Structures are given as C-alpha cells and as structure tokens.
Amino acid sequence: MLKEFRDFAMKGNVVDLAIGVIIGAAFGKIVDSLVNDIIMPFIGALGGADFSNYFFGLSHAVVATNLVDAKKQGPVFAYGNFATIVVNFLIIAFVLFLVIQGINRMKRKEVAAPAAPPSPPRSEVLLAEIRDALVKR
C-alpha cells in the first residue's frame, strides 16, 4: 500500500500542484508585505491617513483611536483593513493574469509553427513515378 501511495504522490501533476501551493503562499506573503509596507502607507500619506486604522466601533464601549486598542474594547468594523486586503487581492489577480497571458502566448507560438509534412513512403513515391510514366506514353 505504501508503494502505491508513493507512486501516486510522485506523479507529475501532484508534485506540480504542491510546488504551486508553496510558491503561492510565499508570493502571498510578498504581496502582503508590498501592500502593507509600501503601497498603503504611500496612499495613506497622500490622503493624510493610515488605512489600517480606518474603523468604527460597533458598540458604545469602543472609544479608542487606533484599531488595536479598539479591538480590545469591543467589536469593530475594520474597513481600512478590508481595503488593504482588497488591494492585496487585486495585485495577486493582476500578476496571475499576466502569468496566464504569457503561458497562452507561448502555447500559441508552439501551435502556430507547424511541422514540415512528412515525406511520403517509398511505395507511394514509386507508384507516383509509375503513374507519371504511364501518363507520358
């Protein structure tokens, strides 16, 4: 049973999928850092605000001015955090769109270059020569 599992697990598609998941998780962390550390502070500086602290309390007990303290006081609706996650998603979706476009272009180039037709078998060549000789008589 272990050998059957090992044979199944080592098939190309399973390994490719595992590698894709690992790279996707790492790419997600990179995009998350890009958005949280570079893009959102820049956008916040243009608007004079920090997106991570955009929230409103869902109870009267929430009076804090930053999100971390507000979550300790009670339930909050953190729409700034949601905006950051939406930007993360849009960046990942755009990059995946570009990757898929590149893959499709490479596939089209491979299909667009047709292979030279194979030469006819020797018997067909001989039959064509006989036919041509008979037509000339």
Average confidence score pLDDT of the chain: 79
Segments forming the whole domain that contains residue 92: 2-136
Query: Looking at residue 14, which CATH number applies to its domain?
Result: 1.10.1200.120
Q: Which of 36-50, 54-68, 75-89 has the lowest mean pLDDT?
A: 36-50
Segment 21-43 shows an average pLDDT of 81
Tally of domains within the chain: 1
| 73-111 pLDDT tens trace | 988 888 887 887 788 788 888 888 888 888 888 877 766
* 43 pLDDT more than 60: yes
Tokens standing for residue 90: 């849009």
Position 11 pLDDT exceeds 70? no
Distance CA 53, CA 40 (A): 11
Specify which residues 56 forms β-bridges with: 77
Q: For residue 136, count other CB atoms closer than 10 A to its CB.
A: 6
Residue of 84, 70, 71 whose CA lies nearest to 37 = 84
